[in-house]
Chains A and B, each alone.
Chain A
Amino acid sequence: MPVTHTNTPAPLASTTPWQDKMQVWLPKLILSPTIVVTLICVYGFVIWTGLLSFTKSRFLPQFDFVGWRQYERLLNNDRWITACENLLIFGGLFIAICLLIGVLLAIFLDQKIQQEGMIRTIYLYPMALSFIVTGTAWKWILNPGLGLENLVHQMGFTDFKFDWLVNSDMAVYTLVIAAVWQSSGFVMALFLAGLRGIDSSIINAAQIDGASKPRIYWSIILPCLRPVFFSAIIILSHLAIKSFDLVTALTSGGPGYSSDLPALFMYSHSFTRGQMGLGAASAIMMLAGILAILVPYLYSELRGKRNA
């Protein structure tokens, strides 16, 4: 037995620990640059911004700490309040309308119609455009002197009025129109994929039980799509919160600052107005807002999944 004893375990003994080590370390090694970059560029800069928000930095970063002063100024700032209200209006309507249109389109497309591929592409195409293009195009369409209103006037209906873009009470809704136009096709694609993934035997069973079609959709299919709703809401809400290019192109926050959004506020105060402290405070407030909404939602959704 001395031969086998020395021969067989020898290669095992020399390779296994090395392979084991590799198996343990290789993924970590490969992930580490990303982790370092993320730590510095995301969390590091979040902390850096947080620090700046407690200083009186104006033009360039400086470190004279002033406590909560920048936050007080922010909450007294009429433009900031308007921007936050706009975000609620814009975000709420954008998410709700996109979901509604997306689900409906997906259900209609799912009825095994002809030319589905082509129709799907038509609805999905706006997503391929950048928000800057969408914003500029809608700016022309909605401009009363150039676009829709002018067109209808030329057709002879001179009483027609559609001046939302230049009306400070309505300008924020034009953002909703443009954003919904761009994103609802994408939501449709998400739901379509979800619908295709539902086991048809459940639906067949319901049909045998005599359930009507709306009833099947409402009580069986939509509840099955819960994970799709989850992803759609997460994607849409981050689109809404970081929305910057669309506002810049469509209204530039105007008329006045009536369609301003927090991201625009942050940019203009930090980088063009030399109020870096105030800008940093607004960035931290945005972060806090996102966390306050998303963390409980993520928590409840992910925990629900684990239990199920």
Chain B
Amino acid sequence: MKLKTLFLAMTFAAGSATAGEVEVLHWWTSGGEAKSVAVLKQMMEQQGHSWKDFAVAGGGGESAMTVLKTRVVSGNAPTAAQIKGHDIQEWAELDYLANLDTVAKKEGWEQSVPSVVTDIMKYDSHYVAVPVNVHRVNWLWANPAAFKKAGATIPTNLDEFFVAADKLKAAGIIPLAQGGQPWQEATLFEAVALEILGSADYRKAFVDHDMAVLKGKKMVEALTIFKKMKGYTDQAASGRDWNIATNMVITGQAGMQIMGDWAKGEFIAAGKKPGVDFVCVPAPGTQGQFTFNVDSFAMFKQKDKGAMAAQNDLAKTILTPEFQEVFNLNKGSIPVRTDMDLSKFDQCALDSMDTFKASATSGDLVPSFAHGMATTSAIQGAMYDVLTNYYNSDNISAQDTANLLADVVEDAM
């Protein structure tokens, strides 16, 4: 290990003088995302490295992951790949990822990025990945015009949520825009569970997998409310994509949507102004709490010295304040660095950043299980199955579901 660190340090000392090629696997191919990647490419080229784009579109990265696996198994790993959350640990365990400790130390990542985030980037306490941005998942997006028409107020807790939802329904507006895909249902449930369980129990259930909490009374309550919310969605939700659901809020066909801050991009793209045409508030009852979803690049081991130098420069560049600003303005998320000037960001992003900083110290910053931050893809998939089956079927009780949730998690562990 020491030798390797030394070796890495030496190549890094050679620094930007050695130019290399970076090949980056990502699935940021749509509008704002593609723009963000172009910026990274430009910044790398300014440092004298060549950029080889390896974009695999579609499916939330599913197809990209399949390609990546083939490439890695055949001994031809790219420099970096968009891998997030718990999957980083899986890749590192198989010993494919490079050690980034030197660049991390030199750039002072420990000081500028909250430890909750850096923990995910490390395997065996060594950096193997670089965080790009932070999404807050527990947002409620609302259309104020629709609320005005229905005479409702934008809810801050679950009781108010149902009052407002009833009023919207009476006014002929779909109260909650929802897409019928397992991850969207899990996103909704996550927001409810965070409020009902509280941050500490949320962590116990979805990160530490405490069986008592998973099948406990609070979980049953959260499941019951989750199911109750279904009554405020429309029937045609089955199979709907999240952005179509967001569009329903934009047009006023629906009143609210509970979704991560990537939804903001849809509002902005439709020419809507935050605070005027749409409102972002924390999901009911989760003020001060923050479910995070961090995108990151995992760095694969390289044989070529030039490629290693380029890899280190890539890691460094991703966390520079300049890239963080441009990238996150395009993507709708907030920078992972907490020491940045945010004057160009809108109110939603500023609120998000305030909560991010505050919750990082209060313990209310929790990983999103619906987005692969909290647990392995096996456990996540098993929970998706149970939740989506409960949400869509009338034949299973909340108590049975909670028991089943505990069972499948135990089995997938």
Contacts and interface: CB of A to CB of B under 8 A. Distances in A.
Interface string B23-48: 00000000000000000000000000
A234 interface: no
Given A166-B180, A252-B181, A257 B388 contact: yes
A166 B181 contact: no
A255 B180 contact: yes
A209 B392 CA distance: 61
Given A168-B392, A258-B392, A60 B69 contact: yes
Interface of B is mostly: helix
B403 to A, nearest CB: 12
Given A145-B236, A166-B235, A258 B378 contact: no
B378 A273 contact: yes
A302 B182 CA distance: 46
A50 interface: no
A245 interface: no
Contact of A256 (B66, B389, B411, B412): B389
Interface residues of A, number: 32
A58 B378 contact: yes
Contacts of B385: 78-79, 256-257
B234 A254 contact: no
Contact of A145 (B72, B235, B376, B389): B235
B388 A254 contact: yes
B404 A252 contact: no
Interface residues of B, number: 35
Contacts of A194: none
B230 to A, nearest CB: 10
B381 A254 contact: no
Given A144-B236, A145-B234, A166-B180, A256 B392 contact: yes
Contact of A60 (B94, B180, B381): B94
A79 B69 CA distance: 26
Interface in A220-258: 251-252, 254-258
Contacts of A59: 69, 87, 90-91, 94
A174 to B, nearest CB: 11
A165 B238 contact: yes
Nearest to B378: A275
A120 interface: no
A255 B184 CA distance: 12
B392 A73 contact: no
B389 A78 contact: yes
A165 B90 CA distance: 37
A177 interface: no
A52 to B, nearest CB: 13
Interface string B373-392: 00011101100010011111
A93 B335 CA distance: 54
Interface string A275-289: 100000000000000
Contact of A257 (B180, B389, B404): B389
Contacts of A272: 62, 65, 377, 381
B1 interface: no
A79 B182 CA distance: 13
Contacts of A254: 180-182, 238-239, 388, 392
A146 B235 CA distance: 10
Interface in A258-281: 258, 268-269, 271-275
Contact of A143 (B181, B238, B388, B392): B238
Given A78-B385, A255-B180, A274 B378 contact: yes
Interface in A116-170: 139, 143-146, 163, 165-166, 168-169
A60 B73 contact: yes
Interface in A70-107: 73, 76, 78-79
A20 B380 CA distance: 65
B411 A76 contact: yes
B235 A258 contact: no
A254 B376 CA distance: 23
Nearest to B385: A79
B394 to A, nearest CB: 8
Contact of A255 (B378, B392, B411): B392
B99 to A, nearest CB: 20
Contacts of B125: none
A256 B234 contact: no
B343 interface: no
Nearest to A269: B381
Contacts of B362: none
A269 B411 CA distance: 14
A58 B90 contact: yes
A166 B179 CA distance: 12
Contacts of A271: 62, 65-66
A169 B389 CA distance: 11
B378 A256 contact: no
A268 B381 contact: yes
Nearest to A272: B62
Contacts of B182: 254, 256
A76 B385 CA distance: 14
Nearest to B174: A145
A131 to B, nearest CB: 16
The 9 closest A-B pairs by CB, nearest first: A145-B236, A255-B392, A256-B392, A273-B381, A256-B389, A166-B238, A256-B388, A274-B377, A168-B393
Interface of B: 62, 65-66, 69, 72-73, 87, 90-91, 94, 180-182, 234-239, 376-378, 380-381, 385, 388-394, 404, 411-412
Given A76-B411, A257-B388, A258-B392, 15 more contacts: A60-B73, A60-B94, A166-B236, A168-B389, A252-B239, A255-B180, A255-B238, A255-B393, A256-B385, A256-B388, A256-B389, A256-B391, A257-B389, A274-B87, A274-B377
12 contacts: A79-B385, A79-B389, A166-B235, A251-B238, A255-B393, A256-B182, A256-B389, A269-B381, A271-B62, A272-B62, A274-B87, A275-B412
Interface of A: 58-61, 73, 76, 78-79, 139, 143-146, 163, 165-166, 168-169, 251-252, 254-258, 268-269, 271-275
